[in-house]
Amino acid sequence: MKPDSRIVESSYTLARERYAAFGVDTEAALARLATVALSLHCWQGDDVGGFENPGGPLEGGIAATGNYPGKARNGDELRNDLDLAYRLIPGQHRLNLHAIYAETGNTKVERNALGPEHFAAWLDWAKARARPRF
């Protein structure tokens, strides 16, 4: 669901006024933030589940809870969630993508057998959003 821009704007206006009362210039802060590259971890969008074992239990690693309601269940949902987050977060963005987000067409592929084809949708998504560096 796309946030209502009127609600976002009125909420920001209120926040800007509240921060100004403490001497914080939110416009200057956002301008500075726009120069910073932010890296998001892909697992922030699906609560560490990945796509290797949909619906299965979490195993080892950096598992947190694995039961976030509304978490992304596939690459398309995670990319859509990231698109929304990137629209709302100022600055340049980077994504740290783990092997558990390979898209293998519901076929079990050992990690040592993963290839670029298993990340093709991620590459296409990133290339479509790339900004020129000059």
User: Is it the case that residue 69 has pLDDT exceeding 70?
Assistant: no
10 Å CB burial of residue 43 (0-12, 13-18, 19+) is buried
Q: What is the pLDDT of residue 43?
A: 66
71 pLDDT higher than 70: yes
Q: Are strands 92-96 and 37-41 parallel, antiparallel or unpaired?
A: parallel
pLDDT for residue 127 is more than 70: yes
Beta bridge partners, 93, equal: 38
Q: Which residue has the higher pLDDT, 20 or 108?
A: 20
DSSP designation for 96: E
3-state SS, 36-94, equals CEEEEEHHHHCCCCCCCCCCCCCCCCCCCCCCCCCCCCCHHHHHHHHHHHHHHCCCEEE
pLDDT at res. 62? 55
The residue type of 24 is V
